[in-house]
Amino acid sequence: MSGQDSWLRAEMGGTKQASVISKPEVLIALLKKSKRPLIIIGHETISDSVRTDILIRMISEFQKTKGIPILSTSHIAGQVMERGVKISGVLGSMEIIDRLRDPTWKGLDGKGQYDLVLSAGFSYSLGWLLFSGLKQGAPETKIISLDPKYHPHASWSYANMKTDSWKAEIERLIELLHTENTQQKMEEAHV
Amino acid sequence: MNRKSIHIRLSEAKSSAGSVKDLDIQIGKIKGEQWDEKEGPTPFPDHAALRTWDRTLLSRYKPLYLPFCDLCCLCTYGKCDLSGGKRGACGIGMEAQQSRIVLLAACIGAATHISHGRHLVDHLLEKMERRTLIDVGGSNVDVEAPMIRLVCGMKPKTLGDLETVLDYLESQMTELLAAAHTGQESDPLDFESKVFHAGMLDHVGLEVADIAQISAFDLPKAEPDAPLVDLGLGTINAEKPVILVIGHNVPPAIDIIKYSREHDLSGKIEVTGICCTAIDLTRFDPSAKIVGPISWQLRYIRSGVPDLIVVDEQCVRADLLIEAGNIQAPLIATSSKNCAGLVDRTDDNPDDIVADLISGTVPGVLILDPLKVGEVAVRTALASHETRKTKKTSSIPTAEELIEFAKRCGGCMECTRACPNETPLPDAMKQAATGDLSPLADIYDTCIGCGRCDDVCNKEIPIHSSLVAAAREKVLDEKYSVRAGRGAIQDIEIREVGGPIVLGEIPGVVAFVGCANFPNGASEVAEMAREFAKRRYIAVASGCSAMAIGMYRNEDGQTPYEEFHGRFDAGGIVNVGSCVSNAHIAGAAIKIASIFAKRNLRGNYEEIADYVYNRVGAVGVAWGAMSQKAAAIAAGFWRLGIPVIVGPHGAKYRRMLLGRKDHDEDWYVFDSRTGEKVQVGPVPEHLFVTAETKEEAMVLIAKLCTRPNDTSRGRSMKLTHYIDLYKRLYGIMPDDIHLFIRSPADIPITMKEELLPILQEKGLQDRIIPDPTLLKSQIRKQKGGSS
């Protein structure tokens, strides 16, 4: 399969298409540039059992190492929390996109709007529309799709990948987050 | 709308040219004859007449646009890239373009229903007197046409009166469609207001169609105990000649039944249907059988059971002539809106048509006379049944054939990439190749029957037919029942539930409507309907959703229509009928204002919509909404202030109408007693929203039933359901309860201990419950003392 075309064949994006995440270092670099990142997770985080474990580990690592708040859509908050992840907010998928396009929104913590959205666990066709709504409504906000299907409406997306290859990429990302965090702590301790 | 009327009656006139006796000439319609209700401000409104009301709602529920792509492709200036704030060559921006697309969808939907109504009324007036009385419920229904009364300001008494309504609808639809032309409307909110107008017109059109057919065909007249009818592939006796009718416009199907009755063939042939023609046919004859929702077209036809296929209009697959040919079944098209490329044989001798169909000289015919369809269909089906016995008529593979097909699968994933529900077909095929058909059979449950998988398979595996083959046992076991569509809600039912609904003591009315584009199969609709019926809401259903509810059996083997009563009362599951019967759902809300609250309906849209919005805790759920008609139906509910929830595929309508519960300033109403502005909280929070999962939808249903007018008892009951569902389905406590508690009396008694600490932390309030309105015109006592 070709990596950089819409996963659902009939979906056609437009003039501006997501860049492909070729390696986890790209994500780390994007995070470094971001002042206010947010993770949003959809119901497939739990309902797609193939992805659940690794997605939970990934968002936990983001939370632990970068302190990124996590917002869950649909009904999965309780199940995610049972797996040890702290959820900072629960909103419907439409509600969160509506707020993310509002420059006056105070955010989940009252500190203001987000500039980077990391997303995972949405069905492809719903994710397509959520990203499009955000792309049009908040053009300055960067969107990163972490699912293994190429999303042209995101700013950055993984290419279409087989599950095992995608899992390997996410493992590398988790490892990188962990390593970087450890190094940072060591540097801080040394200082 | 100004209509001149002339009515001349001559009992006897003589002249040198001859004599005339009992001459009665009527031109136009005399507005409001024999109706002493005061006329409101907006009879026969154009879009601008209700624009202020629309903008009031839209200031609270702002559109969120979700474009499919960055482009506009509607004229030869383009394509134009509208992304990133760019404007097209005509000057339009992305938001206006998206709302324009929504308007086009609503116009297509409304035009379809209005045209359906026109077709029916024209057909009936060819057969019956113009003065045939409209009767939708005898003495049980005095308010026979709440939508028409409300919008048009007229009280239709006869079939002929409905022509006046249709004239109005058609002229308005033309204006709305014109607004979508390049270089016309430019403002997103004005487009949205026009969408609301299309929706309102749509509901009037629905009402025209259904009250005409109820009156003319003697369909159930507001009967809570309408008979249970068979539903499902397993109920059909394929030993008999089988006719399949598909679509929405029932006259040809009714003439099939009439012909078979007149020729002593009732019981000797099976008349089966898919989609709303099936529902309406069972309202006429409960011995007809419903196969299932629109998504059952391919699977049923490919089974080879139908000996003849008759299609009318709306939601009919465009490839049915090919599919019918594959099973050697002739096809009769019966609507000018769906000619299917067939030769018009309306004026031909039935003997010749039947002969041509049976011999296979032609694959199908177009017949635009329902009476002739009746005769040709029955005679053809009888003969076709015999000739098809010697042919291969099923395109469903055997289990052995299926395993061989599955061995061809190379796992390229193209089927999954074409599937709207992204079903894991390659994995299931891999299993099937080893002889394990169960994963494929599981996919049958969530398949929406589109057949896109077939077209993309480069190994030419008949994938959809393979699913049906794998699920053979399930298919044969599809033996369910649904209560025939009852039509209108009785006035007495409204009198009994009006108070409890308005006060919030019946926690809500939940209408399950729309198509079968379900994300996880039909069972989710049944699950939701049962949940809310058990909680003593009033669950109402129509169309494919009414069928989906019936396709379920509880642990005692009952379908929901056997498990719950059919009265418009707490704990009921009320099937009103087909798509056009949706008018009775909006009609019930309007009748609460009229019958219970004694508000005038006549041309009084704004006041009644304000009443419904602030007081009637009703929510529409279109879990599988697919069509433009569903978009128009939803829009009709929005203008009345009734929220609609759609399933995940409904996000493809590309626009939501969302409130912001974090904006306190958005949620003020006037207290009509004093004119004071009162903060009432986010009730209802949204007007149009997609839910990702059925669990989210159920929580939303409970939440969106709250209204400013709820008494404390009513509010506490509604919150009990909301919190209980949230805790059960989300596994945590909702974080917005404080927004709905106006005073300590609103706190659900059984949850007080649990809630009080949360509320005290957020700041427990003590606000008054106003007599709520969004309209200054409804304030009885203006500030300064004048009343």
Q: What is the pLDDT of residues B696-709, one digit of tens each?
A: 999 999 999 999 99
Interchain CB distance below 8 Å, A74 and B693: yes
User: In which band, very low, low, confident or very high, does the pLDDT at B3 lie, cut at 50, 70 and 90?
Assistant: very low
CATH number, residue A63: 3.40.50.1220
A9 is a domain residue: no
Interchain CB distance below 8 Å, B71 and A137: no
Record the tokens describing residue B269, joined without a space.
Answer: 């042939």
B18-55: per-residue pLDDT in tens?
A: 676 666 555 555 454 578 899 999 999 999 999 999 99
Beta bridge partners of A156: A19, A144
User: In which band, very low, low, confident or very high, does the pLDDT at B716 lie, cut at 50, 70 and 90?
Assistant: very high
Closest approach of B234 to chain A, Cα-based (Å): 32
For chain A, give the mean pLDDT.
95
| Surface of A (166-185) touching B: CB under 8 A | none
Is the CB of residue A50 less than 8 Å away from at least one CB of chain B? no
For B63, other C-beta atoms within 10 Å of its C-beta total 23
Cβ-Cβ contacts under 8 Å for B341 (sequence gap 6 or more):
B321
Interchain CB distance below 8 Å, A137 and B65: yes
Whole-number pLDDT of residue A14:
84
| CB pairs A-B closer than 8 Å | 134
Closest approach of B690 to chain A, Cα-based (Å): 7
B159-207: per-residue pLDDT in tens?
A: 999 999 999 999 999 999 999 999 999 999 999 999 999 999 999 999 9
Interchain CB distance below 8 Å, B84 and A139: yes
Which of chain B's residues have a Cβ under 8 Å away from the Cβ of A82?
A: 731
Residue A14 has its nearest CB partner, among B69, B418, B656, at: B69
Residue B696 has its nearest CB partner, among A8, A75, A139, at: A75
Is the CB of residue A15 less than 8 Å away from at least one CB of chain B? yes
Quote the percentage of chain B above a pLDDT of 90.
Answer: 93
Whole-number pLDDT of residue A189:
79
Widest Cα–Cα separation across chain A:
55
Which CATH architecture group holds B228-388? 3-Layer(aba) Sandwich (3.40)
B361-414: per-residue pLDDT in tens?
A: 999 999 999 999 999 999 999 999 999 999 889 999 999 999 999 999 999 999
* SS3 assignment for B403-440: HHHHHHCCCCCHHHHHCCCCCCHHHHHHHHHCCCCHHH
For chain B, give the mean pLDDT.
95
CA distance A131 to B668: 32
C-alpha distances out from residue A5 to A9, A170, B71, B73, B521, Å? 8, 21, 18, 21, 28
Residue B692 has its nearest CB partner, among A81, A93, A133, at: A93
Classify B646 as helix, strand or coil.
strand
Q: Tell me if B47-221+480-663+685-726 shares its fold with B228-388.
A: yes
CA distance B48 to B52: 8
Classify B611 as helix, strand or coil.
helix
Over residues B536-542, mean pLDDT = 98
Closest approach of A13 to chain B, Cα-based (Å): 5
The question of ipTM being above 0.95 is answered as yes
CA distance A61 to A65: 6
Q: How many C-alpha atoms does B190 have within 13 Å on its Cβ side? A: 9
Indicate the domain borders of chain B.
47-221+480-663+685-726, 228-388, 399-476
Residue B65 has its nearest CB partner, among A90, A136, A139, at: A136
Whole-number pLDDT of residue B784:
55
Cβ-Cβ contacts under 8 Å for B582 (sequence gap 6 or more):
B203, B206, B511, B513, B542, B543, B576, B633, B636
Whole-number pLDDT of residue A1:
47
A1 is a domain residue: no
Question: If you ran DSSP here, which 8-state letter would residue B594 be given?
Answer: I
Residue given tokens 């670099």 in the structure block: A29
Domain that holds residue A96: 19-190
Which of chain A's residues have a Cβ under 8 Å away from the Cβ of B735?
A: 89-90
Is the CB of residue A27 less than 8 Å away from at least one CB of chain B? no
A65 is a domain residue: yes
Whole-number pLDDT of residue B5:
52
CA distance B177 to B545: 29
What is this structure's pTM? Answer: 0.96
Residue B730 has its nearest CB partner, among A78, A97, A135, at: A78
Question: Which amino acid type is present at position B4?
Answer: K
Q: Assess whether pLDDT exceeds 60 at residue B787.
A: no
Say if residue B389 is preceded by a cis peptide, omega within 30 of 0: no
B590-609: per-residue pLDDT in tens?
A: 999 999 999 999 999 999 99
Mode of pairing for the β-strands spanning A116-120 and A89-90:
unpaired
Residue B735 has its nearest CB partner, among A90, A97, A99, at: A90
Closest to B154 measured CA to CA, from B4, B5, B29: B29
Tell me the CATH class for B47-221+480-663+685-726: alpha beta
Residue given tokens 């404390």 in the structure block: B712
A2 is a domain residue: no
Say if residue B684 is preceded by a cis peptide, omega within 30 of 0: yes
A4 is a domain residue: no
CA distance B619 to B605: 19
B222-249: per-residue pLDDT in tens?
A: 999 999 999 999 999 999 999 999 999 9
A173 is a domain residue: yes
Is the CB of residue A10 less than 8 Å away from at least one CB of chain B? yes
Spans in chain A with pLDDT lower than 50: 1
A48 is a domain residue: yes
Which of chain B's residues have a Cβ under 8 Å away from the Cβ of A10?
A: 418
Is the CB of residue A97 less than 8 Å away from at least one CB of chain B? yes
Is the CB of residue A3 less than 8 Å away from at least one CB of chain B? no
- Measured in residues, chain B has a length of 787
Interchain CB distance below 8 Å, A94 and B64: yes
Closest to B273 measured CA to CA, from B302, B251, B252, B253: B253
Q: What's the domain count of chain A?
A: 1
**Alpha helix stretches (DSSP H) within B360-398:** 370-388
Q: Assess whether pLDDT exceeds 90 at residue B738.
A: yes
Quote the percentage of chain B above a pLDDT of 70.
Answer: 95
CA distance B339 to B358: 20
Q: Assess whether pLDDT exceeds 90 at residue B6.
A: no
Give which of A11, A88, A94, A149 to mutate to test B binding, by max B Cβ within 10 Å: A94
A12 is a domain residue: no
Which of chain B's residues have a Cβ under 8 Å away from the Cβ of A75?
A: 693, 695-696, 699, 729-731
